[in-house]
Amino acid sequence: MAHVLVVYTDDEPGVLTRVASLIRRRGFNIHSLTVGPTERAGLSRMTIVVDAEAPTVRQAVEHLRKLVNVLAVEQLGDRPMVVRDLVLVRVAANPEVRSEVLQLAQVFRANVVDIAEDSVVIECTGSLAKIDALVDSMRPFGILELGRTGAVAMARGTRTPAPSRAPVPLRTGTGPEAMSV
């Protein structure tokens, strides 16, 4: 079963390696992992979708919490949340079927971001299920290329998502790569 974890980390070189290394070593099966900056400088936010039973997920959470670079780990499973994935899909669409493809895209409120002679590129944002449905509907035409970002998730309602303790990034290995994770 899929569980959604939100992990706040220092925005520091090597943090993604540490998280990925931990997950590989402990044998947790990852569905997707996304990472990016947050409202606060020096703080990164990862959304990790783990495909595992509840006890395994608990283990993953406790192991993540032990990493020095991790400020907080939240498991969103038990509260309402918004989960969004973005897809870019290049669909085979010669002039004969193009209008049909475009119509279908509209049903999903997807955008057409590129049109070539024999294909179109469609961009769509939505829940994991919606993206799956869009992709399935395009399959009969022929999918030439497909890329997904993986899920970004956030709980619904009023709350203070950022960790209570301010991040205290240590300035090691700084340089132009310091912003990368």
Residue ranges that bind other proteins, judged by CB under 8 A: 10, 13-14, 17-18, 21, 25, 55, 58-59, 62-63, 65-71, 165, 168, 170-175
Q: Beta strands of the chain (E only): which ranges? A: 2-10, 30-37, 43-51, 70-75, 81-92, 111-115, 119-126, 143-148, 152-155
Q: Six-digit token pair at 88?
A: 């870019």
Query: Shortest approach of other proteins to residue 96 CB, angstroms?
Result: 52
Q: Beta strands of 57-181 (E only): which ranges? A: 70-75, 81-92, 111-115, 119-126, 143-148, 152-155
Query: Shortest approach of other proteins to residue 1 CB, angstroms?
Result: 18
Strand partners, 46: 7, 35
C-beta closer to other proteins: residue 56 or 149:
56
C-beta closer to other proteins: residue 10 or 74:
10
Query: Shortest approach of other proteins to residue 155 CB, angstroms?
Result: 21
C-beta closer to other proteins: residue 10 or 85:
10
Query: Shortest approach of other proteins to residue 172 CB, angstroms?
Result: 5
C-beta closer to other proteins: residue 71 or 138:
71
CA dihedral (5, 46, 30, 12) positive or negative: negative
